[in-house]
Amino acid sequence: MENKEESSFCTHCGAPLTDQFSGKIDFEILYKPSYSLAEIHLKPEQSITAEGGAMVYMSANLELVTQAKGGVFGSLKRSMLGGESFFMNTYTARGGPGTIGLAPPLSGDVIYKELEVETFFVTSGCYMASDPEVLIDTKFGGAKTFFAREGLFLLKLEGTGFLFMSSYGALHQVNLESGQRFVVDTGHIVAFDSTISWNVKRIGGLKSTLFSGEGLVAEFQGPGTIFTQTRSEDAFLSWLIPKLPKERR
């Protein structure tokens, strides 16, 4: 069970969590929901940190700094265990305002969220960009996630600032009341609040798990918000791979 952390310091490294935004971001999300692109308008000297490969276009006055965010060990852990890039890119508008376009690797939607001295969990591959003040780490999900799509680690975002995340397909938001339970296929989870408790389990008996096509599911219990995606990468690959031409020997 994950509980919301009230501390004003990062529980991993002890760094203070800022309680003020580095500057509200001006943005618009275009071409929703199938081929979404986030166009962000930066004020002079304002910055945004993005996942490697997310940039589609940018103003010529944007300065790019590529670094192993969180140090070499933190970046290695995030890359190998969290499924994200080892290096992250920070773009800063120099000498005036600037614009940058960011998009996810798969066709789908983009959603904007603001964090306010809180912790938020994002599944592998769904993080796109955030405020440089937001701390990014990986979180051990326990043995319960061993057979789930998200693996053993989730991305853990802490602090105050803005966040852009993506989905494969459209994003669907589910708000849970305290004690309310909700079940989601593990391949359709995008992100969720740290106030939510959850566990991964089989759906039905062993026969249902093996032959129903559903496999493992995550059961969440509120209060909090879950973000889900209408398409699953695993389901798409299961459909696609048998149709690929076989190599002739």
Residue 239 domain flag: no
| Regions in the chain scoring below 70 on pLDDT | 1-23, 68-86, 140-153, 204-215, 248-249
Specify the pLDDT at position 104.
Answer: 93
The reply to whether 10 falls in a domain is no
Identify whether 179 is part of a domain.
Answer: yes
User: Residue 150's pLDDT is what?
Assistant: 47
Residue 20 lies in a domain: no
Kindly report the number of other CB atoms within 10 A of residue 62's CB atom: 17
- Residue 9 has a pLDDT of 53
Domain that holds residue 119: 27-231
Domain of 61: which CATH number? 3.60.160.10
Burial of 5 (0-12, 13-18, 19+ CB in 10 A): middle
Give me the pLDDT at residue 77, please: 47
Give the tens place of pLDDT for each residue, 161-181.
999 999 999 999 999 999 999
Looking at the domain assignment, is residue 11 inside a domain? no
Give the pLDDT of residue 80.
45
Q: Is residue 140 part of a domain?
A: yes
Please provide residue 238's backbone torsions phi and psi, each rounded to the nearest 5 degrees.
-65, -30
Whether 138 is covered by a domain: the verdict is yes
Beta-carbon neighbour count of residue 77 at 10 Å? Answer: 16
User: Residue 196 contacts by C-beta under 8 Å, 6 or more apart in sequence?
Assistant: 2, 176, 220, 221, 222, 223, 224, 225, 226
| Per-residue pLDDT, 102 | 97
pTM, rounded to two decimals: 0.77
pLDDT score, position 154: 81
pLDDT of residue 5: 39
State residue 60 phi and psi, 5-degree precision.
-65, -20
How many independent structural domains does the chain possess? 1
What is residue 59's predicted lDDT score, i.e. its pLDDT? 98
Q: Is residue 18 part of a domain?
A: no
